[in-house]
Amino acid sequence: MTEDTTIPSARKVELLEAAYRYALEHGLARLSLRPLATAIGSSPRVLVFLFGNKDGLTRAVLARARADELTILNHIQDPGDPGAIGLATAVKRLWGWLAAAEHQQLLKLWAETYATSLVEPEGVWGGFAAATVHDWLTVLADCQPAQERDSVEGAARRTLALAVLRGALLDLLATGDHDRATAAVHHQLAFFHS
């Protein structure tokens, strides 16, 4: 009987989760295997064996972070009502999650990764920013009524919704001014109701 190599070992999953928690606290841009391995109870040799190299580990952590992002995005719809909730409700729900203090570490990691993906498009970070834009626009499209979703104006409205959320998030992460950023998002909700 051959071993299924598509299923990661329990140790690999355990170390990935530990590396992800480490990245949430310390970021990924200046990641070094030796301090990471020490912090998570492993060795650089084991990490290289399991993930191939530092880039492989970074890719795995980025995929893990993106999985969290997608989980969040996919829970803005009401499970009891699978219909379109509209952009205003989607923006309000997403902002409520984004602005919560307990999510700041994940969002700082997202911002670091997003920016690094833009300045290092050929490296391990390549494609992360574009993929996350696609993910968010897809979720926002699912929140729109079909006639709006399938129109040029609908695409522009969800792009604006994403720009408002992303801009307010970056502002909040930079300044910590929750009230001002929230007021700005709520100011835009009226536009998304129309």
Structural domains of the chain, with CATH: 1-64 (1.10.10.60), 74-194 (no CATH)
Residues 22, 47 contacting (CB under 8 angstroms) = no
Residues 140, 164 contacting (CB under 8 angstroms) = no
Lowest model confidence (mean pLDDT) among 58-62, 68-72, 79-83, 173-177:
79-83
Per DSSP, helices labelled H in 27-103 are 33-40, 44-51, 54-73, 87-98
Q: Which pLDDT score, from 0 to 100, does residue 194 have? A: 58
Query: Which whole number is the average pLDDT over 76-102?
Result: 83
pLDDT over 80 (residue 116): yes
Residues 95, 182 contacting (CB under 8 angstroms) = yes
For the question of whether the overall pTM of this predicted structure is more than 0.85, the answer is no
Query: Which whole number is the average pLDDT over 117-121?
Result: 88
Residues 31, 24 contacting (CB under 8 angstroms) = no
Q: Rounded to the nearest 5°, which phi and psi values hold at 178?
A: -60, -45
Residues 117, 128 contacting (CB under 8 angstroms) = yes
> What mean pLDDT is reported for the chain?
88
Query: Which whole number is the average pLDDT over 133-150?
Result: 91
Q: Residue 115, class by beta-carbon neighbours within 10 Å (0-12 exposed, 13-18 middle, 19+ buried)?
A: middle
Alpha-carbon distance of 81 to 78, in angstroms, equals: 5
- Count of beta carbons in the 10 Å neighbourhood of residue 37: 21
Q: Using only C-alpha atoms, what is the Rg of the chain?
A: 19
Q: Tell me 80's DSSP state.
A: T
Alpha-carbon distance of 184 to 168, in angstroms, equals: 7
Binning pLDDT at 50, 70 and 90, where does residue 67 land?
A: confident
Q: Which pLDDT score, from 0 to 100, does residue 81 have? A: 60
Q: What is the pLDDT of residues 143-193, one digit of tens each?
A: 999 899 999 999 999 999 999 999 999 999 999 999 999 999 999 998 887
pLDDT over 80 (residue 35): yes
Q: Which pLDDT score, from 0 to 100, does residue 1 have? A: 44
pLDDT over 70 (residue 79): no
